[in-house]
Structure 1
């Protein structure tokens, strides 16, 4: 289920706000039953919410020109780091995303 939390974020490429809603749904359904899902869900949601902040900053910087490069880097980092997190979760390890703002604190 930890892998499902991370991979559910790829729904954001098909559904608006799916990168947040997908992991949120899986996390809310299983967080009380499985502690590992709670940890994975918090880490994933913190990263995805951080990405939203970074995208807004990049959109503002797009008027200067550098924002377009940052948007590309954010998209690549999203895909690569989510795959790494899913692989770590499949091994039973909790992965803490780099540059993630801690909106949801650990219990």
Structure 2
């Protein structure tokens, strides 16, 4: 528990910057070692870890198995953290979706259009992975575009920012 954050939270309540209800919610989150002042219910370590989990998918360009094994192992290691769990579901949804899209591209390669499909999928995968990592760092919980929802991803409610209703 960080006493400085708790004192700052108390000062905000005393100045009227946050309501009593916001104070109680933020205090409960703070006592659970959660970040209070950045407007999300997850701490900075969880966001950094989630960002790395998204970027770990890029290991598929080194060895294809690493691109799905490393992020899934990272997810399973910290699955008890609700934020990491939701981000892991997002990663898993994209891994399964891109695998399905790759299989479709391989089948279509017999008609030559599959090569274009696979090239576009390659480019989009890089873009989506980078976007997912940035969103995870910013505290957003959202599936990649074109991702099929094999696993349900639920948003975690964010705390209101001090001074905003």
- TM-score by length of structure 1 reads 0.92
Aligned to 2:51: 3
1:10-38 deviation per Cα after TM superposition (whole angstroms, max 9, x unaligned): 11111232221111011000011x11110
Q: Which has the larger radius of gyration?
A: 2
Consecutive unaligned residues of structure 2, counting only runs of 5 or more, are 1-48, 155-165
Secondary structure of residue in 2 paired with 1:63: helix
User: For residue 28 of structure 1, what is the aligned residue in structure 2?
Assistant: 76
In structure 1, the residue matched to 2:61 is 13
Which among 87, 90, 103 is matched to residue 40 of structure 1? 87
TM superposition outliers: structure 1 runs of 4+ over 4 Å: none
| 1:64 counterpart = 2:94 | no
Q: How many residues align?
A: 106
How far residue 6 of structure 1 moved from its aligned partner, in angstroms, is: 0.2
Structure 1: tracts of 5 or more residues without a match: none
State the TM-score, normalized to the length of structure 2: 0.61
In the alignment, the residues of structure 1 paired with residue 63 and residue 99 of structure 2 have an alpha-carbon distance, to the nearest angstrom, of 15
